[in-house]
């Protein structure tokens, strides 16, 4: 609220709506509900709140068994890249790289005879410039307990994990089985993409982290609603 010219009432309403609803909403919708004339101050208000949500997530480490993978989110091409030839695949300028980690504890077979599943805890999603081993290793060191166990695919990005955590269990995973081997990571990625497309449409790369902050902050309270 520091140096803000908006009424305190706006902040309290925005905090309530942002934290008590399962889904997010756009700055345009909040502007309409508040009856404010200008869009930009409302947009800035929401991003300040999302930044604080991200700071909350920096205050704890993930622990137990951790699923680790990366996702690619469609974002408009940065202006400085538009003159360059368009790349395809993982290096495309139209895709922002996101490292995703989820606490994923195996649970015993239940009484209904269903297969063993995993129970999800906290998640973290971080936008990165690249997926090099050094980049991923630094993120893990800063966000995961050293007594954790990491499950991942056999990507070369994760070759240093065994030196950072108690145990690293890489596995060669066919594309058709990735959702079974790392279920909560991919449920989180799928739902985050769906939310961005349905509410925000064209999310610029420089603002993507703010929206992911909100998604991770609210993930625990809505995890039972995630269908994958």
Q: The domain that contains 159 carries what CATH number?
A: 3.30.420
Overall number of domains in the chain: 2
Output the pLDDT for position 1: 74
Q: Is 128 helix (H, G, I), strand (E, B) or coil?
A: strand
Statement to judge: residues 16 and 105 lie in one domain: no
Statement to judge: residues 195 and 87 lie in one domain: yes
% pLDDT > 90, the chain? 58
Whether 228 is in a domain gets the answer no
Statement to judge: residues 124 and 158 lie in one domain: yes
Per-residue pLDDT reduced to its tens digit, 61-76: 999 999 999 999 988 8
Output the pLDDT for position 227: 40
Statement to judge: residues 67 and 50 lie in one domain: no
Supply φ then ψ for residue 114, to 5 degrees. -75, 160
Q: Is 145 helix (H, G, I), strand (E, B) or coil?
A: coil
Statement to judge: residues 90 and 169 lie in one domain: yes
Q: Quick one: tokens of 12?
A: 């309290």
- How much helix, strand and coil, in percent to the nearest 5, is found in the chain? 50, 20, 30
Whether 16 is in a domain gets the answer yes
92, 86 contact by CB (below 8 A) = yes
Residue bearing tokens 């999800």: 120
Output the pLDDT for position 92: 64
Q: What is the residue range of 86's domain? A: 61-203
The low-confidence residues of the chain, meaning pLDDT below 50, are 111, 113, 115, 224-228
Q: Is 72 helix (H, G, I), strand (E, B) or coil?
A: strand
Output the pLDDT for position 85: 58
Output the pLDDT for position 225: 43
Output the pLDDT for position 26: 87
96, 127 contact by CB (below 8 A) = yes
188 Cβ contact partners less than 8 Å away, ≥ 6 residues apart: 100, 102, 123, 125, 215, 219, 226
> How far apart (Å, rounded) are the C-alpha atoms in residues 192 and 197?
9
> How far apart (Å, rounded) are the C-alpha atoms in residues 158 and 180?
19
Whether 208 is in a domain gets the answer no
212, 127 contact by CB (below 8 A) = yes
Longest dimension (CA), the chain: 59
18 Cβ contact partners less than 8 Å away, ≥ 6 residues apart: 24, 46, 49, 50, 214
Output the pLDDT for position 91: 54
Statement to judge: residues 82 and 171 lie in one domain: yes
Output the pLDDT for position 88: 57
Whether 196 is in a domain gets the answer yes
> How far apart (Å, rounded) are the C-alpha atoms in residues 8 and 160?
48
Output the pLDDT for position 228: 42
Rg of the chain over CA atoms, in angstroms? 19
Q: Quick one: tokens of 139?
A: 């993120």
> How far apart (Å, rounded) are the C-alpha atoms in residues 64 and 57?
17
Statement to judge: residues 65 and 139 lie in one domain: yes
Output the pLDDT for position 171: 94
Q: What is the mean pLDDT of the chain?
A: 86
């Amino acid at each position: 609220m520091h140096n803000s010219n908006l009424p305190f009432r706006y902040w309290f309403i925005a905090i309530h709506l942002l934290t008590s609803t399962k889904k997010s909403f756009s700055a345009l919708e909040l502007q309409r509900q508040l009856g404010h004339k200008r869009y930009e101050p409302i947009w800035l208000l929401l991003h300040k709140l999302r930044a604080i949500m991200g700071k909350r997530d920096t205050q704890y480490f993930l622990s137990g068994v951790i699923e680790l993978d990366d996702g690619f989110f469609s974002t408009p091409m940065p202006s400085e890249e538009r003159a360059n030839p368009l790349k395809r695949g993982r290096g495309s300028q139209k895709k922002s790289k996101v490292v995703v980690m989820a606490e994923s504890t195996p649970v015993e077979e239940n009484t209904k005879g269903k297969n063993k599943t995993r129970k999800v805890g906290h998640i973290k999603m971080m936008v990165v410039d690249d997926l090099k081993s050094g980049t991923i290793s630094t993120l893990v060191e800063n966000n995961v307990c050293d007594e954790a166990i990491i499950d991942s695919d056999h990507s070369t990005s994760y070759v240093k994990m065994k030196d950072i955590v108690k145990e690293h269990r890489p596995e060669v995973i066919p594309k058709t089985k990735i959702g079974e081997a790392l279920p909560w990571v991919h449920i989180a990625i799928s739902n985050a993409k769906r939310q961005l497309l349905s509410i925000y449409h064209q999310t610029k790369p420089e603002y993507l982290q703010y929206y992911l902050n909100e998604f991770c902050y609210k993930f625990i309270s809505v995890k039972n609603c995630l269908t994958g």
